[in-house]
Each structure stands twice: as C-alpha cells, then as structure tokens.
Amino acid sequence: MGHIRLGRLPRTREWIEVLDLIGGGAGSPEVAAATMVASDSGLADAAKDPGLVYSVWLLTQIPLAARSDDFAGRLQQLGLDVSASPNLLEVVGRSRAGWMST
C-alpha cells in the first residue's frame, strides 16, 4: 500500500544500496541505517512543510492537553474549537479545521 501512496523510490545510489541490503538478507540495523542515510534529504525537505510541522506539533500538544485539569480548555487554547467534553472524533475533526483556517 505504501508504494502506491509514496510512488517509487528515487533511483539514487543510497536507495539502491538499501534495496541491495534487503535483497541480500541484511539485518534490520543495517537496513535501518542505510534507510536513514538515503532519506536524509527527504526528511530535510519535510521539515520545511508547514502542514507536516503543524501536524507534528499538534500531536505533541494533544497528550499534554489531556494531562491538564481542563482538557477542553487547553485544546481551545491550542486553537481547536471543541465542546466542553470533546470525544476523539471531535478532536480529530477540529484539528483538521484548525489547520485549514490558519
């Protein structure tokens, strides 16, 4: 499924090395290390994507809000227009709306 969403891997030397390691039966640590090297420029580009940056930031803030005494109030401070007792679907729906309005 991931190959459909992400398209084909770049045909760089680094990604070919990853595929060679997988095809050669290398262990997970070797494949993971080569994958990190190969994905370095893509990760640097991702850090410049405002939608991704906002999503990651929000994913760090929601658990912190859940630990507070006023979950709904903290979510509202984060810019999510939620009810006094929000459920999961409301938080998810408002998270998307919050991003689209900024």
The per-residue pLDDT for range 41-96, each reduced to its tens digit, is: 888 888 999 988 988 999 999 999 999 999 999 999 998 889 999 998 988 887 76
Cβ-based neighbour number of residue 16 at 10 Å: 13
Closest CA to 63 of 43, 53, 78: 78
Asked if residue 8 has pLDDT above 90, the reply is: no
Confidence of residue 98 (pLDDT cuts 50, 70, 90): low
pLDDT of residue 100: 55
How many angstroms separate the CA atoms of 2 and 32, rounded? 17
Q: Which two tokens stand for residue 90?
A: 């409301």
Q: In the prediction, which pLDDT does 42 show?
A: 84
Which contacts of 66-69 are long-range, i.e. CB under 8 A and separated by 24 or more positions? none
Residue 96: the pLDDT is 63
Predicted confidence at residue 38, as pLDDT, reads: 93
